[in-house]
Structure 1
Amino acid sequence: MTPHKRRTIFCGLQWGTTGSCRGNSRNGVARESLTMDCLKSCLDGLQRYVWSSTLKDSTWTSKEYEEYELEFKSYMQQNLQTLSPAEDFATEHRDDPEELQRKLQDLLELCKEANYIVVFTGAGISTSIGLPDYRGPQGVWTRKLKGELVSDDLGLERSAQLQPSRSHWAISRLHQNGFIKFVSSTNVDGLHLKSGLPKACLAELHGNSYVEECESCLKPFHRSFVTRTATGLFDHRTGRYCELCGGPLRDIIVNFGNTFEHVPSMEAQHDAAWLHCLKADLVLVLGSSLSILTACDLPEECLEARDGKPDGGKMVIVNLQRTPKDPLASLRIFAPCDEVMAFLEEALLGTER
C-alpha cells in the first residue's frame, strides 16, 4: 500500500500545523506588523463564527470544520504572543525584476535538462481570471475567518463561462509539444480540461465540479453545470441517474473529512499522481500552498534517487506566499504563475501569445 493510501484525503485547512494565514497586503507596512494585524482580524472573525448560531451551510457547521476552528484558534493565540517571521505563510512576496529574471533563467535551464516534467497546480493559477484562491489576501478561508460572508459555491457556478488562464494554456501547449508529461491539480474548476489537456495526462486530486459518476457502473458524465446538489459533507448523490445502467449518480468532490470510501474514484487519481511524481526528475508547483493533506506530499516524491535519476529529482515552487515545503525546493520563485508560464512557453516554444 502506498504511503498516501494510508492517510485520509483531507480537503481542508492545516492551520494548526502550517500556520497558513494570509493577510492583506499594504504598502509601507512591515511584514511582522502586517501579519499581526491579520492574525488579530482572523481571530476576531473566528470568535464571531464560533459563537454564531446563524450558520446553516454544512461545511461551516460540520464537525471537521469545528475541529479546524479550534486548532486555528490555538495557533492564533500562540502567534499573537510570539510571531516568527520564518513561519509567516501570510505575507505576499515578489521577487524584484532583476532577481526574477535570474530565477526564470534558472528555471529554463532546469526544464531543458529534465527528462520528465510533472506540473502540480493549485488555486493560484486561476486567480488571474477572477476565481478566488483559499489563503490569499482575498482568499475564501481568509475572508471567512475574518467574519465576511462567503458564497459556498466558491465562484464555481461562474467558472463554467470562464476561459482558462494564461497558465492553463501554457501548460496545455507545453504538454502538446512534449515538455510536460503529466499534470496533477487540487483544483475542481475543470479549466485544465477546457484548455485542451487530455484527461489521460491529468489527475484531479479533489475532483471536478462539472463531473458526476455512476455509483453502480462508475461511468463518468461531463456536464456544463456544477453537478453537486448534496448539502452533507459525506453525501454525494446528485439526484440524477445513469443513462446507461440507471444507477444513482454522485459528484466527485472531496469535502472536509472525505476519504476514498466517500469518493472511490479519487484513489485512481492519487495513484496516477503519485506514480508520475515518482518518475519525475522535475516537479513544477504552481499556485499551491502545499498545505492540504495528502496532496501536499506528492510533489516531493520526485526528490528521491531512483532508476533513471541517480541524483534524484528537483522541485520548483512558484507562489506569492511561502509554503511549508519551501526548504525542499531547488528553486523558489515569488511571482504570479501567469508571468512565469508565459516566459517558459515563449522560451521553450519560441512563441509569443
Structure 2
Amino acid sequence: MYIEVCTACTPNREYVRVFDVTERTALHRHQTGRACHKCGAQLRDTIVHFGERGTLGQPLNWEAATEAASKADTILCLGSSLKVLKKYPRLWCMTKPPSRRPKLYIVNLQWTPKDDWAALKLHGKCDDVMQLLMDELGLEIPPYSRWQDPIFALATPLRAGEEGTHSRKSLCRSREEPPPGELAAPLSSAPVLGGWFGRGCTKRTKRKKVT
C-alpha cells in the first residue's frame, strides 16, 4: 500500500495510491509532485528513507508501536532489513535488562543489524516460513484475491491533470482471478518442505569465511 500525506491539513490528510509514490522522493526530499485536493499544499511520501528517522505522527505511529513493544514478550520481524528500525532503541526495549526484553525473531533472506540480538534468525522467504508456522499451528491461510482486496476501494484516484505525475506501473486487479461471487481455485494441499532455513540460525552463530 502506498500512502502520501498532506501535513498542512489538521488532522493530516492521507491519500492511498495504487502506484509507487516515491519515484521523485529521496533522502530528506519527500515531496511527491502532487497537491492536496483540499488545501492545495504539496503532498509528501510517508517513507522513512535510509539515514532518516521518521517524524510523521501518522501513519507511522511510532509512539503506539513502542508502547506495544514494551508490553510484548515476542517481536517477529518479517522481510525487513531493519536498517531503519535500528534507529529506534525504544522499539527494542533497550532500556530494559536483556532478560526482560521481548524475544526477537527475524525472517529475512539477508543479514540485518539485529541478527546478533535475535533469539532466532530464519534465512528464508516469508511466505514459506509463515506457511510452515501456520501448518504447525493447524491454521489455514485463506486464499488471496485481488478482487476482494480493500486497497482498491480505499485508493484515491488522481484528478484531471495529475495522470502524468508518475511513471510507475499501477496495481490492478488480476484478469486471471475470478470476480467476487465465483469460487477461487483451491490451494494445493502439497506439504511445504522447509529448506535449511527451516532449522534457522541460532543466536550469535559464527559465519564461515569464504577462502
Residue 44 of structure 2, aligned match among 250, 259, 271? 250
Letter in 1 for 2:42: P
Assess, with a 3 A threshold, how the Cα gap between structure 1 residues 224 and 335 changes in structure 2: closer, same or farther: closer
Q: CA separation in 1, counterparts of 2:61 and 2:44? A: 17
> How far did 1:232 drift?
5.6
SS at match of 1:222: strand
Q: CA separation in 2, counterparts of 1:278 and 1:288? A: 20
SS at match of 1:211: strand
Residue 279 of structure 1, aligned match among 64, 71, 81? 71
Instruction: Name the structure 2 match of 1:343.
Output: 132
Instruction: Name the structure 1 match of 2:19.
Output: 225
By percentage of residues, which structure has more helix?
Answer: 1
Residue 93 of structure 2, aligned match among 298, 301, 304? 301
Letter in 1 for 2:32: T
Q: Give 1:123-272 correspondences, 5 Å limit.
A: 190=1, 210-217=2-9, 218-228=12-22, 230=24, 233-260=27-54, 264-265=56-57, 268-272=60-64
Q: CA separation in 1, counterparts of 2:101 and 2:85? A: 23
Give the conservation status (yes or no) of the 8 Å contact 1:318–1:334.
yes
Give the conservation status (yes or no) of the 8 Å contact 2:50–2:83.
no
Letter in 1 for 2:6: C
Q: CA separation in 2, counterparts of 1:269 and 1:231? A: 21
Give the conservation status (yes or no) of the 8 Å contact 2:78–2:108.
yes
Q: Deviations over 1:42-88 (max 9, x none)?
A: xxxxxxxxxxxxxxxxxxxxxxxxxxxxxxxxxxxxxxxxxxxxxxx
> How far did 1:237 drift?
2.3
SS at match of 2:93: helix
Give the conservation status (yes or no) of the 8 Å contact 2:25–2:45.
no
Q: CA separation in 1, counterparts of 2:19 and 2:68? A: 30
Q: Deviations over 1:272-318 (max 9, x none)?
A: 2222211111111223343445457466328947xxxx955322222
Shift >6 Å, 4+ stretches: none
Q: Give 1:24-43 correspondences, 5 Å limit.
A: none
Give the conservation status (yes or no) of the 8 Å contact 1:283–1:315.
yes
RMSD: 3.4
Letter in 2 for 1:237: Q
Q: CA separation in 2, counterparts of 1:329 and 1:256? A: 22
Q: CA separation in 1, counterparts of 2:82 and 2:51? A: 18
If asked which structure has higher relative contact order (CA below 8 Å, sep 6+), I would say 1
Assess, with a 3 A threshold, how the Cα gap between structure 1 residues 214 and 321 changes in structure 2: closer, same or farther: closer
> How far did 1:259 drift?
4.2
In structure 2, the gaps of 5 or more residues are: 142-186, 188-211
In structure 1, the gaps of 5 or more residues are: 1-189, 191-209
Assess, with a 3 A threshold, how the Cα gap between structure 1 residues 334 and 303 changes in structure 2: closer, same or farther: farther
Q: Deviations over 1:301-343 (max 9, x none)?
A: 28947xxxx9553222223444443333223333332222002
